[in-house]
Structures are given as C-alpha cells and as structure tokens.
A and B are shown apart, each in its own frame.
Chain A
Amino acid sequence: MSPRDRRPDGGVLSQVFDVSGAQATRERRQQLGRDAVMALNAIQRNARNYGEDNKVFGPPIAQLKAAVMELLGADGLFELEITDDELWINRQAIRFDAGSVPLAANLRNELRERGIRAIVTHLPPPDTDLRLLVRLLSPAVPRTLGPRGDPSQPLKTFVLRTGPVAAAPDPASERMTRYATVYASAAFFVNHTIQQLRVGGELIPLWAASRMVQDLVDLQGAAPLRFLRLARMKPDQPDRYWGIHAANVAVLAVTFGARLGLSKRRRHDLGMAALFHDVGIAAIPANVLAKQGKLDQKDRGFLDASPLFAARAILRDREVHGAALERALAAYECHLDMVPKEGAPPEVGLGGRILAICESFDALTTDRPFRRAHSPREAIGIMTTEQLFRFDPALVDLFVKVAQPLL
C-alpha cells in the first residue's frame, strides 16, 4: 500500500488496500513486521528486569531500528497497529508461525494494557526514541500516555495512538466505501464547478481534483472490473446529470486508457479532462438544457458554443503545462466530429478521441429530457453506425472490447 494518502493520525483517507502491490514487497513487509514485533517483545520481556540503559536492549533495539528504517524506506511509514486479535504492519495483518503466535499475543496484550493502539512514525527514529520505547514497555510506565508517550519524556519521532482498540476493518466493505467515496466526490466536484461557474463563485482548487483523479487511477489499477462497473451509475434527478455523467466518463476514460496501456500520467490527464469536458454547459441557460422539444437557432448557438466554454473555463486559469493544455483540448475536441459535414477534419488529440467515445456511450445510456436511455448494446450499435462520423473508428472498435463487461 502506498501510504502517502493517509492522514498523519493514521486514519485511512484514500486507500485501503495495496495498489502498489508486488508480492515480493508484501512478503518483505510481513517479515519486517514480524521482526519488529519480536524485537518489541524482547524489549518488553527484558524491561521487567533491566534498566533502560542496559546493554541487553542493544540487539532488539538494533533489530527494531532496522525494521523501522526499511519500512520507512519502502513505504515512507512505520505503523504497527493493534486490533482485537491481530497485529498490523503498515495496514497489512501480520501472519505469524505457530511458535511466534504466543509472543505476538503477549505483546498485543501488553500494549493494550497500556492503552496503546498503534505506534507510528514517518521519520527515522533517533536512538533516544528507541530507548524511550523500552521505558514505555517497562512495568513502571506512567498511567497516562499521550501521543508522544510519557509527557515528561516525550518521543521525538514516534507517535502513539491511544484509546480503545478498534475493531479490524472489513476490507471488502472499506474497499467498496472507498470506490463510492471517490466516485461521489468526482460527481460532486463537477456539479459544484458548474454551479460556481454559473454564479461566478469560488471554485474547488485544481489540486483537489488532481488528488481525486489520482485516486481514481489507483483504484482502477487495483480492481479494473469493479471500477468499470461504477459507470453503470445513473442520476436519480435531472440536476445531478452532469456530475454523474462526468464521473462516468472519467471511469470509462481511465479504464480505456489503461486497456490501451497509456501511462499513469496520461490516464490522469484523461480523468481530469473527463471531469471538465462538459463544464461549458455552465454558460447555457437552464431552460435550454431542460428543453424537451426541438431547439431553435439561438438555443443551438448556445449548445454549439459550449465546448469552447469548457475550454475557456480551463484556459482562463493561465496554466500552460502539458496536463492543463491536454485537459482543455480534450474537453473541447471531444465535441468535434471526426468527419464534419463541411470543411476539413479537425485536429483531435488522443484524449479528445477517447473522451468523445466515452462521453457518447454514457450519454446514450442515460435518460435525458428529450429521450429515453438506450441499452448499452443499443448505444454501441448507434455509435458504430449512424454516429460513427463523430469518432475514430479504430478506437470505437477497441472501446467495444473495453465496455464488454457493461453490455
């Protein structure tokens, strides 16, 4: 698991499972967790008989330090958590062999008795901190421990989480909550942005959207199928259409990008562009958007201009790095027909071509004021025949494979 998205207090903010994932890393983490537990156990046992400066603590402190340092090196974090019946290292339950289970249980009990729920550090601990741990595990430990241990001799780098031990999280449930939260945040972001653009209010900063899309990309990598199924979500109220539509397009585009083998960077660009691709509708009067009959020329003018409004909403930020340009262009170009009725074919980048397909698929499969939703199969049928002029035909063929689980 990548620990960067965790709160300093140890709460899981953005991820609940390992997305970095190499098996070797997980196994190594297991070993380091066991090393740390055995070292702490040795310290705790010896602390009954020896003072904290005794040489007997040298080897277990060294072992603990080595484990902490390697985990910091690998994850940027050392977090030993105590649950009712398990010990967790960096959000991974530690597996013990039969001989070690009693030792682990002993340590768990000792720590629980002291009210310690977790020992955490983001920084390499100095030797003084490791010696203070000896003191905390000795029988003479103070009754009240704070986040830095004994307030009279506080730890410099280690933080103790104290209080009643929480039940072990249900990974499946946490995982689903995580997917739902990120998806819902994305939909909220788009609705909020459109609303604020309409009234000229304060927008959510881009970096927040960027972090959210980072989560989307990471989640897609962790469980592609489950992630893709988020795109089945449909709005229950018409005024929530744009947020859910954009979130669906982001899900589809990030998935499509991953299937094409695009880099993390490019998938992020796609996700960001997807969130912004329809913000131009903020410039369209609400009555035009809700119109059920045929649009007149003036209404049509608003709709035609909306892609440029989307580009304007991005380009006005004065950002000219590649990602911002990609975002603005994809948001604009995804609305252009690949084979226009008149004139030369427009220049459309890969982002725009991918978004055009994803956005049409989601729009066609959603109820709109002017028509009922098509089934995913019908939508693909329309996209590959009567609307094919709008898309890159080779990409449409590939998209059919990507969207297969939704059909």
Chain B
Amino acid sequence: MPETSQDSALVRDAFAGLARALKRVSIYRHAPGQHASFVEPVLATFREVLSRRPAVTISVEQGSLTFEGQPVYTEPPREWGLCFRLHRDGIRTITFKSGLSAEELLDFMDVALPDSQGGPATSREDAVTELWKADLASIEYTAIAGYRIEEHGGPGFSQAVEALIQRVQELTQASGSDALADHGAPPLLWDDGLRKKNDSQSWGELARRAALTVLRIVERDLAGWDLEALQETFWRLVDDGAERGEVLAVVAALDGARRLQGQHAAGFRTALSRKMMDEKRLARAVELVGLSDKGAAQILASWLQLLPAEAGPNIASALATATRGDVIAPLAHAALVRLGTSRAFVEEILHRGPAAVSLGILAQLGAVQAVRPRAELAAAALGHPETRVRAEAMRIVPIEPQVAVERLRPLLEDADPQLRMTAADALSSCISVAEPAALLLIRAMSRPDFEQREREELVVFHRALGRLQSTTGHSYLAERLAHPKKGFLKKRRNEQEQLLAVQGLAEEATLRSLRILEDAMVPGRGHPPSVVNACRAAALRIRTPRGARGGGNQ
C-alpha cells in the first residue's frame, strides 16, 4: 500500500476511534476517571501515524473532517454535531503533532465533545476560545479571521479606534519606544500551593454564587426587561448543576428561590417550577439523592417544595419507579399534597405498584388532611398483590368507617388467614357503623367452612364482633352462648362455640353482655364447667375498672 494511503487509513482509524471515544465520554460525562481509558486506543493510532509523519493536519468542513482531501470522519450537518460546531466557530484546520499526550487528547475531546442534543447551546464558550484556552502544545488549529470586533463595531469603529490608536502610540513612544523591550518574564508572586489555595473555584461554587446573584437582582427589582432572561439563566444554573451533580449549588439556589421576596418572587418561582416539573429533570433530582455527596438527601426535598400543583402526575411517575426509601418518602409526600392532580396515579401505584412504594405512600398518608380521601387511598391498596401492603392498608382504612365497611368485605373472605384476621380486627374499630360492620362479620362467620378454621382466627372474629358493641353482634354472641348447636358428637364443638361467644361478649364489655355472662353462670343452665368458669372470668374482667386490670387491652 502506498505510504499516503496507509497514513490515510490510519488517520481514518484514529478518527473512527475518536468518534467512539467521544460517544463514550458523552455517555459517561459523570465519570471523568474512566475517560483516559476511552482514549487509549485512539492515542495509540495517532501515535502510530505521527511516528510516520511529523504532523497530521485535518481540514474541518461543515459535515466532515478531511485528511489530504479524503474524508476521515463524517456526520450529518446538525447543530450539535462536532464538525458543525468547529466549523461554525471558525476553525478550519486542526493539526496533531508528534508528542501528543493522553491529557492533551482528553482536553481536545472536551472541546470537541458535541453539545448535548437539544440542550442549551450556551453551556460553553465558542470552540476557538476553548481551544485557545486549552493551550495544547501538540494540537494546533487555524481559524478564519472573522468573528472579530472589526466586523461588529459598526461604521464608527474605525474612526474611534484610529484616534485612540494614535494616542496610545504617542504614549508608548513617550514612555520609551521599542528600546524598552522586555527581557524575560518577571518572577512569579505565587507558588503552586498558594495558587491552588487562592484560586480553587469549582463550577458548582460559581454557579451557587451566580444563582444567588440572580435572585438578588430580582429581589431588588433590578431585573427590568431582562427578568425572563434571568429566569432562564437561573434555571440553566439549576439544570446544569443537577446534570453535573453539583448538589450543594442546586440546593442553595432552590432554597434561595423559595425564600425570594419582592414583587416578582411569585412569578419567578412559577416560571422556575414549571421547568422543574419536567419528568427527566425530576428523574435527575431523584438520581442525585443516590450520590454520597453532602446535601444529596436535601436536594429532592428542595426540588419538590417548589413544584406546582399540576406536577402531581410527574411526581407520581417518578414515584412509581423509585426504589430507595429516602426517595420514596419525599416523593410520596409531594404526590399526596398535590392530590388534585395526582390522585388517579397514586391510586394506581397503591393498587399495583411496587410494594415498597405502596408502603411508602401509605406511610405518608398523613399528608392528606381530609379523612375520607385518605381512607379511600388506603382502600386502593387493599387490592394490592402483596399481603404486607394489603395488611398495612387495612390498618388505615377504618379511619373512615363507611369506607371500611364498603371496602373490607372481600378481605374477610380472603384466602390468607392473616389478612382475614386483620380485616376483622380493622372492622372492629368501626363503631360508628357498628351494625353494617357486624353484619359483614356475621356473614363471614356464617360460612360453612368458618368453623374449620384455626382457633386463633375464630377468636379474632368473635372478639371483633364483640368489640363493635352492635345489637346484631350482641344477639349473635348471646345466642351462641345460651343455645349452642346441639347434636351427638358435637359436644366438644358446642363447648368451643360457647367459649368463643364468651370471648366476644367479654370484648363487648357492656352491661347487657355482663348480664348474659352472669346468667350463663347460674348452675341451672347446665353449661359445661369450662364455659361457666370462662363466664365468671369474663364477668369479673368487665366489672373491674379498665385501669385496674393491668396488662392493657385484652
């Protein structure tokens, strides 16, 4: 292969590798530690071609980079493309020279990295300035002479500048003309240590102070017709800060916005919050909580506090995919305080969302002030596939007894005995709707298979029925104690039935239940000794003042 063709092939390989590396760097922007490994193969190819020739000069065109007239990299001309940006900013050739290092290549890639698609085009300086600032020894560039003040100064430029040039020249001549040529650079006043100590401003630090400066301008009513532009700048500081993981800067900016005073404060917050509610941005805020940085936990709270009422669906959407407890809790709280827009979504998550999320929402239900919606939301979780969610929901639903009566019925007949018991227990607190609740319990207890269930469950149901203090429930229990079902070989079962009724009546703890129990103790009634003893104990318990019983509720 002729030498030039071989070089062209190598340069093509190098740029194909560079394109791959750029893609990887743009994907892993947040992991700069890995970037060096991305450029290693590219560097090796560049070094190979640079060992064969002293320099490789690439021409920059709108949609391609060419080497000796042959394209080595092409892309559709689009605003965020590498070639387009370099060309637009005036760069026409780039020369890679021998001695190229990985650091230089990485610095070059920082400049060459395409703007994020659809992102703000103003998040960086123009390519010529960036390359000039990078001050790369082994990568040079040529730029067109345009983009200079001469082209933009208007008709008055030449005249104004000429007059001044003359005065400056006179001054320079008066102070010693060219004979005063400098001899060597004067000594430095700071060493590396002092420089580092005095000049270590990170982007985050600058962004934080810039955001607070924007707020100061707005608060003092100095924004004038630039208010909208300043709002946009502030948002970009927040957005870029979130992208870069500058948690402290974002938190400071958002807290500042929340405290902002003045006649434009409300409008400023509204404009900001509408941008913050975007699903992707919200997802990024959620992601940041996972960072180990200081303040990471605070960022989501600060973010959510500013979101408008209509952000409910987006918050719910973020909530649906959340996995961390410290994310679920604030998101759930934020979704619940925006129930006007989030209700359907929250109910859906409660019904079939991940268990951890559903439980998280149930834990935050206190954020909903009104009792009925709170109970209804909890009731939505009664259909959740996971038992622990349903159980937790059942503990909450009775805060609104009507809802409990409406929604707990199916759970009394659930396949899971624990759930049946929890449901019965939950219903037992619905004193204000005691009669319908008692009917539900009695209906469940009248099922043919009820008597075959574990004793623990039978006890829970009977006690629940008693606790309701309903007329229907009382009659049911009294009947069971006084007239158990008769039949040969059913003696033992009847005795058990009576004992369960005693427990229910003891739980009812009313005068009427006391009378029934005392009546059952009369020897003439012919009840078994175990039933009589149980009635005695129960009667004693009812008569004993609650405070004197010891051991709390039984």
Q: Which residues from chain A sit less than 8 Å from chain B, CB to CB? A: 2-8, 13, 69-70, 72-77, 122-124, 126, 156, 172, 175-177, 179-181, 183-185, 187-189, 191-192, 200, 204-205, 207-212, 214, 221-226, 229-230, 232-233, 236, 244, 258-266, 268, 283, 305, 308-309, 311-312, 315-326, 328-329, 332-333, 347, 349-350, 398, 401-402
Contact = CB atoms under 8 A, between A and B. Distances in A.
Given A214-B129, A224-B186, A259-B186, A329 B122 contact: no
A229 B157 contact: no
Given A70-B54, A122-B93, A312-B230, A329 B210 contact: yes
Interface stretch (B165-173, B289-297, B460-468): B165-173
Interface residues of B, number: 95
Contacts of A204: 149, 152-153
Contacts of A183: 164, 168
Contacts, number: 271
B125 A180 contact: no
25 contacts: A77-B142, A180-B172, A181-B165, A184-B165, A185-B153, A188-B164, A192-B153, A204-B152, A208-B151, A214-B129, A224-B185, A226-B180, A236-B167, A244-B164, A259-B188, A260-B188, A315-B233, A316-B226, A316-B230, A319-B123, A320-B210, A324-B125, A325-B210, A349-B201, A349-B209
A388 B210 CA distance: 26
Nearest to B124: A321
Nearest to B170: A180
B121 to A, nearest CB: 10
B222 A205 contact: no
Given A183-B168, A184-B164, A329-B209, A207 B230 contact: no
A76 B126 contact: no
B216 A308 contact: yes
Given A8-B145, A210-B125, A317-B122, A328 B210 contact: yes
Contact of B207 (A175, A262, A325, A333): A325
A261 B188 contact: yes
Contacts of A185: 149-150, 153, 161
A181 B172 CA distance: 12
B454 interface: no
Contacts of B188: 259-261
Contact of B178 (A172, A224, A317, A333): A172
Contact of B189 (A2, A223, A319, A401): A401
Interface of B: 53-57, 59, 68-69, 89, 92-93, 95, 97-98, 120, 122-126, 128-129, 132-135, 140-145, 147-154, 156-157, 160-162, 164-169, 171-173, 175-178, 180-182, 185-186, 188-192, 195, 198-199, 201, 203, 205-207, 209-210, 213-214, 216-217, 220, 222-226, 229-230, 232-233, 236-237, 240
Nearest to B237: A320
Contacts of A180: 164-166, 168-169, 172
Contacts of A76: 57, 93, 95, 140-142
Contact of A308 (B153, B185, B220): B220
